[in-house]
Amino acid sequence: MPLARVQELLDAGPEEFAGGVQEIDKDLRAEIRRLQGTRGRLARLAAGEHLALPQSVVDYLDRLRGLGVEEQYIDMERDAWIMIAAQVPHLIDAVIAKKHEELDDPDTVKLYSLLSGALDWPDHDPRIVEVADIMERLMIRAVEAGEVDADDGIDDRFVGLLDSTMIGSSPGAARLLAILEERGWRGWTRIERVPAERLNTDLPPT
């Protein structure tokens, strides 16, 4: 931060000082993300992303980068795809083809633009509700199109592992899943429609 900016803050009143500190914090967070992205790209060059993933997944991650998705979120996706590709290598190309189709939907692109920065959101961030709204719209369309299938060839314990990893990635992740469950949806890796009677039975008393 330039010395002139420091001097401006020292001479500022309480409100201006507080606003300046918030602005600096925002700039620092952006710089941290940029540096993390650079670090991630260097790590991939050193380790070889192509060695760990099928080409179809590499191309998909590159498409996400082209949409402006932050490298921090792509790193998390990449790690998940490495595990999925190892678990169901015979299904991965078909799954990725479906993911490309989903990216043609503006709602999906909007979802990624929100999730890209969601790893830093607190659990009370109002954008979590916006993410839930978009996900619910996408799932309703999938159900209406007959595209929701619990028999996806992926082991239930492995799905639980992926969901646990996602929940641990962000303070707001658990709240997002709680909102979706209140609306009758369950899961992240494999989102399922929960019948109302089963949902009422499973939910703890309030």
The predicted-structure confidence for 42-91, as pLDDT tens digits, reads as follows 555 445 556 678 889 999 999 999 999 998 899 889 888 988 888 888 88
Q: Which of 30-34, 127-131, 164-168 has the lowest mean pLDDT?
A: 30-34
Q: Which two tokens stand for residue 104?
A: 């043609």
pLDDT digits (tens, 9 = 90+) for 152-170: 667 788 888 888 888 888 8
Alpha carbon distance 133, 121 (integer Å): 17
**In this predicted structure, what is the pLDDT of residue 16?**
76
Which residue has better confidence, 195 or 73?
73
Question: DSSP alpha helices (H): ranges in the chain?
Answer: 3-11, 14-47, 49-52, 55-66, 71-87, 92-102, 106-115, 127-144, 156-167, 173-182, 196-202
- Has residue 113 got a pLDDT over 60? yes
Token digits for 118?
């969601």
- This prediction's pTM: 0.68
Average pLDDT of every residue of the chain: 80
User: Hey, what are 145's tokens?
Assistant: 């199109």
Q: How many CB atoms lie within 10 A of CB 14?
A: 7
User: What residue type is 73 in one-letter code?
Assistant: Y
